[in-house]
Structure 1
Amino acid sequence: MKTPDFHAFARNRSLPLWLLGLVLPSFPAWTEDLDVTANMSLPPGDYEYDALMVRTGATLTLQGDPATGTGVTLRVTGMVVETGATVTATAQGYGAQAGPGAATNDRAGGSHGGRGGGTDPAETYGSAVAPTDLGSGGWSAGGGGSIKLEVADLLQIDGTLSANGEFGGGAGGSIFIETGRIAGGGLLQANGGRGQCGACSASIPGGGGGRIAIHH
């Protein structure tokens, strides 16, 4: 598939983004590009780029901050995640037994968009319309982080975006996308982490699912 010309996007920022009945202003003339050709991480915070490319074989990890309950926001003119590329916040949420939906015993998984499995899991929390919360931890595993993408023009996803909970019952995190256009045949995931039974007498249940919302 031909890679979109993001520098053409930079020359034409007249396309407004419609979101929930509102017209958001066109984004400013950002000049910096990010071309991810090898594995790299971004700490929690807000980042602005013109073109953002994640190349085949590369993984861009977006870290979370359990102290503030926040992840990473990317504001870009255009973005492509190529086939075989990954943008991930898996296991970047609250740690084990932490967060609003944390497991309080070894018979429950962490909760977020869905309740964790097992006995007496915590209630769900966060917004289904504009999800940005971190996933809560299971008894022995962390939750998924938070990915927010604000794309003025085209978002093309042929690879994977993931904010899954950690194996061992962590709850899934959040993926929130606002974009002018979206294309591609990639995969979006905010799954709860699978349960486990290590050297234990009882299995640890799986985590609840996270939340994904796309506005375009």
Structure 2
Amino acid sequence: MRFACTMLLYVLCNSSAWASSLLVTVTDSEGNRLEHAVISIHGKVSQMATGDAALAVMDQRERQFAPSVLPIQQGTKVSFPNSDDVRHHVYSFSYPNNFELKLYHGEKNKPISFDEPGIVVLGCNIHDGMIGYLQVVDTPWFSKTEIDGLASIDQIPGGNYTLQVWHPDLGMNYEHQKITLTEGHQAITVRLPTGQRAQTPKPEVSPLQALFDD
């Protein structure tokens, strides 16, 4: 009896050491699978190491941000190279992660550190059709859905968490769901209260833009 109680106590105390894998399917309100949804697992604050040494890249190609949505961990530095043959003027008003990179070609600017969690909306002062997003999270467990609406996160300690989901269609809002992870593989579906937007057409070149497109 004493042995059984000891083993039960051991299992309960060490459940957080179990490694879990989570597969998330994200859909809109009509059940259509969504690409570019950022999922993140929040909880166990003591394990939330920051990404001080990490470096991510948000490129600019064909007058678009590439990728259009980039999830990063808090503390990550992001490089903004301009691979186009025209100049861009990248900025964000998303306080406290606001910044500005004035007209440039190539890779002339130093990477920018994003130290506060939140949504960072990116734009270009010259090309109004350029819109991109950084999703800064304060957890090492995050991912982004592919075109099939699927995203996975591995090696999560077992326990109780909050699953956070964000997609550009949600604006500045998030969807949250309480989850309990145990050893092994788990799969869930999250339906967002939104319909997928139509693709934004590329804008015509304005006289102002034409001054800089050389």
Greater relative CO (CA pairs within 8 A, separation 6+): 2
TM-score range, shorter chain: under 0.3
TM-score, with structure 1 as normaliser? 0.27
Structure with greater strand share of residues: 2
Structure with greater helix share of residues: 2
TM-score, with structure 2 as normaliser? 0.27
* Greater Cα radius of gyration, structure 1 or 2: 2
